[in-house]
């Protein structure tokens, strides 16, 4: 059950188990959305233009990756972090949950600073948040 909008901000406490369940749903939805956006990009005219630009030497692979990072990955990850924050913070393990959300914020900042790296791999930006999420019990992030 995804508790959209519920949580500490509305005065309703969320349990750790509810946070984990809802966060898993948020992350799974974000992953599907990102995959769909990458697929649509890859099948679209913009990807064909980028490929032609690379063959012609007008664009580098880094430029193409940066464009994909800026247009797809960074906005999707920013939206995911906002959705995670909207769940509220459980009273048990609140420091761990806050650290996890802060790590995701930092990951978004790293992805914004180097969208080409984030688009190619994502480990630099989201490896640590993913590890913290798994330690907390969230498997989908």
Long-range contacts of residues 17-23, Cβ cutoff 8 Å, at least 24 apart: 18/90, 19/87, 19/88, 19/89, 19/90, 19/97, 20/136, 20/137, 20/138, 22/87, 23/84, 23/87, 23/133, 23/138, 23/140, 23/141
Of the listed ranges 11-15, 82-86, 137-141, the least confidently predicted one is: 11-15
The pLDDT tens digits of the residues spanning 57-77 come to: 999 999 999 999 999 999 999
Q: Is the pLDDT of residue 43 over 50?
A: yes
pTM of the model: 0.82
Q: Is the pLDDT of residue 28 over 70?
A: yes
**Of 75, 124, 78, 70, nearest in space to 101 by CA:** 78
pLDDT one-digit tens code per residue, 4-26:
444 444 446 899 999 999 999 99
Q: What is the rounded average pLDDT of the residues 47-66?
A: 93
The pLDDT value given to residue 140: 92
């Amino acid at each position: 059950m995804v508790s959209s909008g519920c949580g500490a901000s509305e005065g309703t406490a969320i349990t750790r188990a509810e946070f984990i369940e809802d966060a898993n749903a948020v992350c799974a939805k974000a992953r599907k959305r990102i995959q769909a956006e990458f697929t649509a990009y890859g099948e679209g005219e913009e990807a064909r233009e980028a490929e032609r630009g690379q063959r012609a030497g007008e664009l580098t692979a880094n430029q193409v990756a940066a464009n994909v990072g800026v247009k797809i990955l960074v906005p999707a990850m920013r939206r995911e972090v906002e959705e995670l924050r909207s769940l509220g913070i459980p009273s048990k393990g609140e420091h761990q949950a806050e650290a996890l959300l802060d790590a995701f914020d930092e990951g978004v900042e790293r992805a914004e600073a180097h969208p080409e790296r984030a688009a190619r791999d994502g480990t630099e930006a989201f490896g640590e948040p993913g590890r913290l999420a798994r330690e907390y019990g969230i498997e989908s992030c």
